[in-house]
Amino acid sequence: MAKSFKHLDAQLSDYILNRSRISVQSSRMNAKLEKYVLRILTEVLEKVGQSRYIEMLYTITKEMAINGVKANQKRIFFEDLGLDIRNPDHYDRALSQFKENFSEKMADEYGKRCLARGVFVKINVVYGEDGLVVEVINNTPVIDAEEARMREKMKKAMGYNDIAEFYMDNMDNTEGAGLGIALIMILLKSENIDPNLFRIQTQAAETVARVEIPFNDKYISIRSKEINQVGNHR
């Protein structure tokens, strides 16, 4: 068994060394996944000479993954109760139950249920000499009410440079996801990275959280590329 783990570790290092895109998929956030995410980010950033971003990027990636896993588990929780997540009355009632009941044991149990139903979070790391992108994709959509709250949290977090200050000002109405979003944006600011390089896109069947880390002035953001492509097709 020890040999097989060593073989897997060697394979991972070889994969990181020779690829510019690495993906990890899971239905729950656990110590094993955290270990591999840290390993991938560490080896990638060391490879491109940007080790100073390891701690920050690991924290951001972990926050995005936790938010995605929780969102997926929340959907399964609603389904198990036979409630419609798009019904405001159902949503308010089940959300309070979900928050009250949530624990490590519940997270583990609902991770298994997500796996059985094909619900997952996928982490993509794509990089080059000019910059790096981490995407966290969860294959459940965000309902309109949640998206509006999320956008409001992102807008509010823009005005802060300190996570403790954000928490003190919003402690009465901030849930875990709100703190996570604020933490990501404040961490980017602390490294003089534009917080607008953290984005959340909602699509019909999935939600994509994405952070971009420029390594130099040559880096062109994904949004800039998309705008240029639209302009070129006119």
Measured CA to CA, the distance from residue 156 to residue 96 in angstroms comes to 23
User: DSSP state, 141?
Assistant: P
The amino acid present at 228, given as its one-letter code, is: N
**Taking the alpha carbons of 68, 73, 74, 75 in that order, is the dihedral positive or negative?**
positive
DSSP 72-140: HHHHHHHHHHT--TTSHHHHHHHHHHHHHH--HHHHHHHHHHHHHTT--EEEEEEE-SSEEEEEEEESS
The count of structural domains within the chain is 1
| pLDDT value at residue 4 | 46
The domain that holds 75 is classified in CATH as: 3.30.565.10
From the first residue on, what is the mean pLDDT of each consecutive set of 10 residues in the chain (234 residues)? 54 85 90 91 95 97 92 89 84 82 84 92 95 95 84 88 83 65 92 94 90 95 79 58
| pLDDT tens sequence across 69-86 | 988 998 898 888 888 888
| pLDDT tens sequence across 116-134 | 999 999 999 999 999 999 9
Give residue 94's domain range.
5-232
pTM value is 0.88
Provide the edge-to-edge strand list for the sheet that holds 121-127.
21-26, 121-127, 131-138, 207-214, 198-202
| pLDDT value at residue 230 | 59
Residues 6+ apart with CB under 8 A from 136: 61, 64, 65, 67, 68, 121, 122, 123, 124, 208, 209, 210
Measured CA to CA, the distance from residue 225 to residue 205 in angstroms comes to 24
| pLDDT value at residue 177 | 59
Alpha helices in the chain (DSSP H): 2-18, 31-47, 54-81, 88-101, 104-116, 144-157, 163-170, 176-190, 222-232
The alpha carbons of the chain give a radius of gyration, in whole angstroms, of 19
